[in-house]
Structure 1
Amino acid sequence: MKPIVEVTLSWLLKNRKGRDAKLFFTRPAFAKHPEQTIEVTSSDCGPTNAKLAVDYTADGAGKHPVLEWTAPPAIADKVKEWLLVSEDPDAPLAMPIAHGVFGGIPATKTSIEAKDFEIEDESKALLKGGFHYGVTRRNVPYIPPRPLMNHGTHRYFYEVIALEEPIDPKLLSSKATREQIADAIVGKVLGWGMWVGSCERVWK
């Protein structure tokens, strides 16, 4: 998209941001867990709300941030599987954009890095990290941040969810949608936490 067209769109859509009320963790599956209980950090990107370096955006290498997480003792031994959802609530659409939906993360895995998101078996939606990827708008496992130019700062929520029961492997290997995953985890959530990165693109 040419910069002048993109900037014009940004001006027209400047008030269409902040779909926080429709983020993944507001779904019915989280009714008993309204607050974060899992600590999520990023050793390469900094504290939550940090500005993402260009290598972590579509203008650079498009790398996924390294994430590490720790569950509280009360639930740590009960976790059977992890789920990761990344989304942008500031996109000028009716719903947040799903940048990534990753299910079937082994209970023993409490960190992820960029190489984990390389495709291992596309027919099973399986990644090299040993987990599955779901549907995104561009039919790729992960969409790196690329907010509209001059649309202001966009926030990218990386939500880690602890599950007490695994998601059906058949659903995961079929490249599930965010909505299908949201329905599949009702009654299975033990807790959740998130790390937030920010990104802004300015036409100079």
Structure 2
Amino acid sequence: MTALIEVSLSWLFKNAKGRDAKSFYTRPAFADFQSQDEQEIIVTAPEIGPTNSKLDVQYTRDGAGLFPTLHWEAPQHLAGQVKEWLIVSEDPDAPLPTPICHGIYTGIPATKTSVENKDFEVEDSSKALLKGGFHYGKSMRGDVYITPRPLMNHGPHRYFFQVIALREPLDPKFLSATTTREQIADAIVGKVLGWGMWVGVAERKW
């Protein structure tokens, strides 16, 4: 019965996809980077493949729900300027007015240029601190990370993993589990040095 409901919803909202224009990287903080072509940070997921690769079941809700291992690097002209990294994961193909925020991660040290699944285990929930040495904000459901689970028969969903270089650290008040995507977007205005994105794709069929 649940599958039938999902398929019905997918048919009803079949055209409710592609909210790219409301993605995190389109916010005013990214005014100097007008398009995806202006990504200065190279983000890769070596265990999965190039951007737009299919997410194996282990990276979805139907499997182990792993966070993809990501690596990134900044161009030479930004060397020494990055004070902190920020990661935002979202699904622009969900049948909602804006992309679903699957996870937002703040206070990532400038020296850290990769993350793996174990980094997202909770170290101290009272401080929203993860074992990777950084913090988590508020996803759409409040989970540390919402594992991809697109509506059945809604077609492929893209999952954006955006890495943002900041020229100064975020105010510590934003290193909280209640901090939203919108609050972070406003807080980083004037602080973005560059950004990059890796995209994973998942689909569920009946």
**Superposition TM-score, scaled by structure 1 size:** 0.98
Q: Which residue of 1 aligns with 2:44?
A: 41
Match among 178, 186, 189 for residue 186 of structure 1? 189
Larger CA deviation: 139-148 vs 169-178: 169-178
Percent identical residues: 69
For structure 1, the 5+ residue unaligned runs are none
How many residue pairs were aligned?
A: 203
Residue of structure 1 equivalent to 2:114: 111
- Summarize the alignment of residues 55-94 of structure 1 with structure 2, pairs less than 5 Å apart: 55-94=58-97
- Which deviations, in whole Å up to 9, do the C-alpha atoms of 1:168-199 show, x marking residues without a partner? 11221353100000000000000000000000
Matched-pair contact (CA < 8 Å) for 2:136–2:177: no
For the 8 Å contact 1:132–1:175, the answer to whether it is kept is no
In 2, the alpha carbon distance for the partners of 1:20 and 1:169 equals: 29
Find out whether 1:140 has 2:138 as its counterpart.
Answer: no
Secondary structure of the structure 1 residue equivalent to 2:184: helix
- How big is the shift at 1:76? 2.2
Alignment of 1:169-184 (within 5 A): 169-184=172-187
Deviation string for 1:2-33 (max 9, x for gaps)? Answer: 10011000000001000000000000000012
Retained in 2: the 8 A contact 1:41–1:47? yes
2:155 alignment counterpart: 152
Offset, 1:143: 0.5
Alignment of 1:196 with 2:194, yes or no, is no
Structure 2 unmatched ranges of 5 or more: none
Distance 1:39 1:173 in 2: 27
Deviations 1:106-143 (A, max 9, x none): 00000000000000111111110011111112221100
The secondary structure found in structure 1 opposite 2:61 is coil
CA RMSD, Structure 1 to Structure 2 (Å):
0.9
